[in-house]
C-alpha cells in the first residue's frame, strides 16, 4: 500500500495517489499452482499546470515578462468585477495570477488491474499455464475559464469521462527435456487473445449564465459527445531452444498475429526469428587474461499494426443538432486507407560479450541493422489534395547502429571499491524508399534521416550577403533548408560507483549529441526582446546593411522606438533562425551519497538494515549550447521530435532519504 501527496511548484496545484497491491500464490497438491495479483490505484490531480502556447499557462508570463518587472505586480490577476487584468495586448497571453486564482481543472483516475493464472504440471517435462488479466481504468476530468477571462470573456467549460478496459487471456504449453546426455531441449506453444474497449463522453460548452457557478448546466452553449473505440488482437506463437553442452545455443520462434484494426485479408502477419550464441571461452582454451567470451548472432522479424481503431475507414460523422432542422454531415481531413498492411521490421544483430582479468574488465558490443518495411504512418500531405494527412505503408526505413558497454572495477579491496560502467550508442536512421506520390515523410526525403527538422532561412545572395526587401526594410525569406535532426544519434552514459566502508557514492553522467532542438519559447523570447541577440541598437538604433532584391546595396537604420517591431517581425519571417539550437548536452543525471547505519549495534529494535542517503537528481549540466532552457525540455508528439515549447522549467531535485528495513 502506498499513499502519495504532492504539492506542485505552481501554487494551488496538487497531485495525490493511493496504491494498493495484493499478490496471492498457492500450490494445490504437486501439480497445480494458482497465482493472482490485484492492484488498485486512485490518482487525483488538481489545477495541473498547462504548457504549450500562452493560454492556460502560468509559465508564459513567467518566461516572457520583461525581467525588470516584478511579476507580483500582476497579482491577484483580476479587477473588482473579476475581469482578468491583462499584462499585454494579446488575450491568449494570460495573467498568471488569473490562471491560478480564477481558472481551474481537476482530474480523477481509478484503475484496477487483476491477473490470475493456473499452472498445471501435466508431466514432469510438460506443463500448461492458463492466465487471464483485466485492466479497468476510469478517468474523469474538468477544466474551465470563468466569466471575465480576457480570452473567452463569457467563459468556457470542458468535462469528460473515459472508461477503458483491457482484457487478455493466454494459454501456454511448456516442454522441457534433456536427451543424449549433452542436449537440452525446451519448447513452448501458446495462444493469446486481447480485447480493448474505450468508452468516452464529453460535455463541453461556453458562456456561463450565472458567474461562479462552474457547471455544465450553467452554460448558454452546450455540446455533448460520445465515443466508443474497440480493438483486439489474436495471436498464436511458439518457440524452441536447443542447447549443446552449455556451449552452443539455438533459438527459433514464430508468431502469427491477427489485428482488428486492419481489414480481413490484410490483417494478419507471421514473423519468425532465429538466434544462436556460442560460449567461446568454454569451447577452446583462451589466454588466461580472458575470463569469459561469448559470440551471438540473430535474425528476427517483428510484425505490427500501429494504427488506431477505425482509422483505416473514411468516416462521415453527423454534426450535433444539425443546422436549424437540417441534418449536417461532416468529413475528416485525415485520409484513411482500407488497404493498409501490417508493417514488418527485420533485424540482423551480432555481438560479442567478453570479460577480462577475473571479470574486473568487461566489454559488450552489439551491431544491429534494422529495416522496417511497410511502416505505417499518418504522414502530412498537401492540403490541396483535399486532405492534410494520409495513412500509408510509407515505404522503407533503416536504422543501423552500434551499442557498447564497458564495465570495470579498477579498485577492489575490503574497505574500498570503485566500479565504472560506460555505455555508448550510435544510431543512423535513413529513409530508403517512399510510397508513390510522396516526396517526404516526417520532413525528410529518401536518403535523409527520419525526423528531420526543416524550415526557412533569411535569403542571401551568391556572396552570402543578406537580401532585404527595399519596401519594408525587412529581410527576405529564403528557401526552406534542413536544420538538422530531432533525435540524437549519439547517446552515452557513465556511472561511477565508489564504496568506502559504510559509505557509497554513485554518480551518473548522461550525454546526447548530434541533434537539434527547436524551441517555440525561444522564438518568443527573441520577439519579446528578452534575448541577448536583440541588444544591438538599443542605444542609437540599428543599421542593417545588405542588398535589395535587385542586387543593389541596401541600408536602413531602425530607430530605437521601432526596434521592438523590427525584432518581432524579423523573428516571424524566419522562425527557426532564432529558435533552433544544437541540442548536445552532458549532465550529471544523479548523484547519490549513501551511508549504511551500523544497525547491528541496535539489535533490540530488530532492524535488518538502515540507510540514509543524500540524493540529487539533475544537479548539474556540465556542457550545453542552449542558453535559455534545458536541452531535455523537448517533447515528442507523434512523429515529431526535437520540439520544445513554453513549459514550467525543469527542476534540480535534492533530497535526503532514510530507508529502514525490519
Partner 1 sequence: MKNSRFQIIYAALIVAISVLSCTKELAELNKNPNAYESVNANFLFTKSQLGAVGLNPNGNRFNNMQMLQQEATYSEVTAPGDKYFAEGYVRNNWSAYTTCLNQVQLVINEARKDPNNINKVAAARIWRVYIVHQLTDLYGDIPYSEALKGLESKYQPKYDLQSDIYKDMFKELEESVASFDVSKPTFGNSDLLYDGNTVKWKKFAYSMMLRLGMRLTKIDPVMAKTWVEKAIAGGPILDDADLAKVPYADGGLLSNRNPFSEHMRVLDYVDGQNPLNVQGSKISQRFIDHLKGNSTTTKDPRLNVISVLWVKQPSGGYVADTATALQKGMKNAQFNGYPADFETYSEPNPNTVMRYDAPVIVLGAAEVHFLLSEASIRGWYSGNAAASYNSGVTSAMKQWSFYGPGGAISTDKITTYLKYNPFFTGGTFEQKLEQISTQRWVLGYLDQIENFANWRRTGYPVLIPTNYPGNITGGRIPRRYIVPESEETLNRENFLAAKARQSGDNTLLSRVWWDKE
105-164 residues near partner 1, rule: CB under 8 A: 122-123, 126, 128, 150-154
Residue 319: DSSP 8-state: P
Helices 520-527 and 563-573 sit at what angle, rounded to 10 degrees?
150
Which strands form 376-380's sheet, in the order they lie side by side?
334-335, 389-393, 376-380
Query: What part of residues 20-49 is at the interface with partner 1 (CB under 8 A)?
Result: none
Shortest distance in whole angstroms from residue 80 CB to partner 1 = 12
Nearest one of 251, 293, 253, 295 to 275, comparing CA atoms: 251
Query: What part of residues 198-257 is at the interface with partner 1 (CB under 8 A)?
Result: 206-207, 220-223, 226-236
Shortest distance in whole angstroms from residue 316 CB to partner 1 = 5
> How far is Cα 525 from Cα 571, in angstroms, rounded to an integer?
10
Binder among 212, 358, 480, 653 for partner 1 (CB under 8 A):
480
Find where cell 534433456 sits: 178
- Shorter beta-carbon distance to partner 1: residue 267 or 522: 267
Binder among 61, 293, 340, 381 for partner 1 (CB under 8 A):
381
Binder among 9, 28, 90, 224 for partner 1 (CB under 8 A):
90
- Shorter beta-carbon distance to partner 1: residue 436 or 553: 436
Shortest distance in whole angstroms from residue 315 CB to partner 1 = 4
- Shorter beta-carbon distance to partner 1: residue 262 or 511: 262
Contact call for residue 481 and partner 1 (CB under 8 A): no
Name residues whose C-beta falls within 8 Å of residue 264's C-beta, 6 or more positions apart in sequence: none
**Is residue 357 classed as helix, strand or coil in its secondary structure?**
coil
Q: Per CB under 8 A, which region of 65-73, 365-373, 395-403, 564-572 contacts partner 1?
A: 564-572
DSSP letter string, 538-591: TTT-EEEEEEETTS-EEEEEE-GGGHHHHHHHHHHHSTTTTTEEE--EEEEEEE
Query: What part of residues 444-473 is at the interface with partner 1 (CB under 8 A)?
Result: 454, 456, 469-473
Establish whether the linkage from the previous residue to 76 is cis, with ω within 30° of 0.
yes
Name residues whose C-beta falls within 8 Å of residue 406's C-beta, 6 or more positions apart in sequence: 361, 362, 363, 364, 420, 421, 422, 423
Shortest distance in whole angstroms from residue 458 CB to partner 1 = 14
Binder among 63, 94, 261, 522 for partner 1 (CB under 8 A):
261
Shortest distance in whole angstroms from residue 581 CB to partner 1 = 21
- Shorter beta-carbon distance to partner 1: residue 234 or 253: 234
Residue 163: count of CB within 10 angstroms of its CB: 16
642 φ/ψ sector (left φ>0, alpha ψ -120 to 50, else beta): left
- Shorter beta-carbon distance to partner 1: residue 182 or 320: 320
- Shorter beta-carbon distance to partner 1: residue 173 or 612: 173
**Is residue 281 classed as helix, strand or coil in its secondary structure?**
helix
- Shorter beta-carbon distance to partner 1: residue 312 or 487: 312
Binding flags for partner 1, 266-285, as an x/- string (CB under 8 A): -xx-----------------
State the Cα torsion 90-93-96-97 to the nearest 10°: 30
- Per the DSSP assignment, residues forming a β-bridge with 646 are 52
Q: How many residues bind partner 1 (CB under 8 A)?
A: 104
Find where cell 504549450 sits: 52
Shortest distance in whole angstroms from residue 647 CB to partner 1 = 22
Residue 399 class from Cβ within 10 Å (0-12 exposed, 13-18 middle, 19+ buried)? middle
Q: Residues 573, 485: contact at Cβ < 8 Å?
A: no
Shortest distance in whole angstroms from residue 542 CB to partner 1 = 12
Shortest distance in whole angstroms from residue 455 CB to partner 1 = 9
> How far is Cα 325 from Cα 344, in angstroms, rounded to an integer?
49
DSSP letter string, 235-250: EEEEEEEEEETTTEEE
Find where cell 436549424 sits: 324
Q: Residues 218, 210: contact at Cβ < 8 Å?
A: yes
Q: Per CB under 8 A, which region of 41-49, 131-139, 512-520, 565-573 contacts partner 1?
A: 565-573
Shortest distance in whole angstroms from residue 456 CB to partner 1 = 7
**Is residue 460 classed as helix, strand or coil in its secondary structure?**
strand
Q: Residues 239, 252: contact at Cβ < 8 Å?
A: yes
Binding flags for partner 1, 68-87, as an x/- string (CB under 8 A): ---------------x--x-
The 3 state secondary structure assigned to 392-411 is EECEEEEEEEEEEEEEEEEE
Query: What part of residues 330-359 is at the interface with partner 1 (CB under 8 A)?
Result: 330-331, 333, 335
Query: What part of residues 389-448 is at the interface with partner 1 (CB under 8 A)?
Result: 390, 436-440, 443
Nearest one of 396, 402, 412, 392 to 340, comparing CA atoms: 392
Q: Per CB under 8 A, which region of 99-107, 262-270, 340-348, 419-427 contacts partner 1?
A: 262-270
Binding flags for partner 1, 296-335, as an x/- string (CB under 8 A): -------------xx-xxxxxxxxxxxxxxxxxxxx-x-x
**Is residue 59 classed as helix, strand or coil in its secondary structure?**
helix
Shortest distance in whole angstroms from residue 646 CB to partner 1 = 16
- Shorter beta-carbon distance to partner 1: residue 403 or 482: 482
- Shorter beta-carbon distance to partner 1: residue 230 or 466: 230
- Shorter beta-carbon distance to partner 1: residue 478 or 619: 478
Query: What part of residues 580-639 is at the interface with partner 1 (CB under 8 A)?
Result: none
Shortest distance in whole angstroms from residue 645 CB to partner 1 = 18
Q: Per CB under 8 A, which region of 192-200, 283-291, 488-496, 584-592 contacts partner 1?
A: 192-200
Q: Per CB under 8 A, which region of 18-26, 94-102, 189-197, 597-605 contacts partner 1?
A: 189-197
Amino acid at each position: 500500500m502506498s499513499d502519495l501527496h504532492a504539492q506542485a511548484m505552481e501554487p494551488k496545484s496538487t497531485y495525490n495517489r493511493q496504491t494498493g497491491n495484493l499478490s496471492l500464490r498457492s500450490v494445490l497438491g504437486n501439480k497445480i499452482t494458482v497465482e493472482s495479483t490485484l492492484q488498485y490505484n486512485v490518482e487525483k490531480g488538481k489545477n495541473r499546470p498547462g504548457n504549450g502556447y500562452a493560454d492556460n499557462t502560468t509559465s508564459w508570463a513567467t518566461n516572457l515578462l520583461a525581467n525588470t518587472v516584478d511579476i507580483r505586480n500582476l497579482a491577484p490577476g483580476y479587477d473588482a468585477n473579476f475581469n482578468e487584468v491583462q499584462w499585454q495586448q494579446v488575450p491568449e497571453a494570460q495573467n498568471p495570477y488569473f490562471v491560478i486564482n480564477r481558472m481551474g481543472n481537476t482530474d480523477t483516475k481509478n484503475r484496477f488491474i487483476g491477473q490470475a493464472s493456473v499452472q498445471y504440471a501435466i508431466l514432469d517435462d510438460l506443463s500448461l499455464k492458463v492466465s487471464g488479466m483485466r485492466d479497468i481504468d476510469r478517468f474523469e476530468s474538468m477544466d474551465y475559464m470563468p466569466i471575465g477571462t480576457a480570452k473567452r470573456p463569457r467563459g468556457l467549460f470542458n468535462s469528460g469521462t473515459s472508461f477503458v478496459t483491457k482484457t487478455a487471456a493466454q494459454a501456454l504449453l511448456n516442454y522441457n527435456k534433456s536427451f543424449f546426455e549433452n542436449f537440452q531441449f525446451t519448447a513452448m506453444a501458446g495462444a493469446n487473445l486481447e480485447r480493448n474497449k474505450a468508452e468516452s463522453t464529453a460535455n463541453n460548452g461556453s458562456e456561463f449564465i450565472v458567474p461562479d457557478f462552474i457547471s455544465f448546466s450553467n452554460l448558454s452553449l452546450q455540446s455533448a459527445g460520445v465515443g466508443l473505440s474497440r480493438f483486439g488482437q489474436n495471436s498464436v506463437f511458439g518457440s524452441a531452444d536447443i542447447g549443446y553442452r552449455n556451449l552452443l545455443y539455438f533459438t527459433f520462434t514464430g508468431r502469427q498475429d491477427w489485428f482488428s484494426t486492419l481489414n480481413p485479408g490484410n490483417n494478419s502477419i507471421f514473423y519468425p526469428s532465429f538466434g544462436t550464441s556460442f560460449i567461446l571461452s568454454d569451447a577452446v582454451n583462451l589466454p588466461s587474461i580472458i575470463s569469459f567470451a561469448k559470440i551471438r548472432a540473430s535474425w528476427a522479424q517483428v510484425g505490427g499494426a500501429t494504427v488506431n481503431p477505425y482509422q483505416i475507414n473514411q468516416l462521415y460523422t453527423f454534426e450535433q443538432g444539425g443546422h436549424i432542422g437540417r441534418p449536417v454531415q461532416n468529413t475528416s481531413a485525415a485520409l484513411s486507407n482500407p488497404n493498409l498492411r501490417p508493417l514488418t521490421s527485420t533485424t540482423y544483430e551480432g555481438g560479442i560479450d567478453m570479460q577480462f582479468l577475473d571479470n574486473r574488465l568487461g566489454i559488450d558490443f552489439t551491431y544491429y541493422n534494422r529495416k522496417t518495411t511497410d511502416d505505417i504512418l499518418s504522414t502530412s500531405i498537401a492540403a490541396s489534395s483535399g486532405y492534410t494527412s494520409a495513412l500509408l505503408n510509407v515505404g522503407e526505413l533503416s536504422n543501423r547502429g552500434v551499442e557498447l558497454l564497458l564495465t570495470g572495477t579498477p579498485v577492489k579491496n575490503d574497505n574500498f571499491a570503485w566500479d565504472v560502467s560506460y555505455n555508448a550508442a550510435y544510431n543512423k536512421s535513413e529513409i530508403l524508399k517512399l510510397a508513390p506520390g510522396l516526396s517526404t515523410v516526417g520532413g525528410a526525403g529518401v536518403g535523409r534521416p527520419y525526423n528531420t527538422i526543416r524550415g526557412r532561412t533569411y535569403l542571401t545572395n551568391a556572396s552570402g550577403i543578406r537580401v532585404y526587401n527595399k519596401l519594408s526594410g525587412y529581410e527576405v525569406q529564403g528557401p526552406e533548408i534542413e536544420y538538422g535532426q530531432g533525435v540524437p544519434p549519439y547517446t552515452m552514459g557513465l556511472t561511477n560507483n565508489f564504496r568506502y566502508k559504510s559509505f557509497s557514492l554513485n554518480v551518473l553522467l548522461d550525454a546526447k549529441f548530434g541533434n537539434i532542438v527547436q524551441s517555440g519559447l525561444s522564438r518568443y523570447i527573441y520577439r519579446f526582446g528578452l534575448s541577448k541577440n536583440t541588444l544591438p541598437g538599443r542605444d542609437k538604433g540599428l543599421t542593417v546593411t545588405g542588398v535589395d532584391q535587385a542586387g543593389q546595396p541596401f541600408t536602413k537604420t531602425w530607430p530605437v522606438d521601432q526596434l521592438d517591431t523590427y525584432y518581432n517581425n524579423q523573428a516571424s519571417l524566419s522562425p527557426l533562425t532564432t529558435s533552433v539550437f544544437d541540442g548536445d548536452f552532458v549532465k550529471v543525471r544523479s548523484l547519490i551519497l549513501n551511508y549504511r547505519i551500523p544497525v547491528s549495534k541496535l539489535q533490540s529494535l530488530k532492524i535488518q538494515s538502515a540507510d540514509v542517503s543524500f540524493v540529487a537528481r539533475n544537479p548539474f549540466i556540465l556542457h550545453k549550447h542552449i542558453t535559455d532552457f534545458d536541452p531535455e525540455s523537448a517533447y515528442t508528439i507523434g512523429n515529431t521530435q526535437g520540439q520544445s515549447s513554453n513549459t514550467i522549467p525543469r527542476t534540480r531535485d535534492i533530497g535526503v532519504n532514510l530507508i529502514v528495513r525490519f
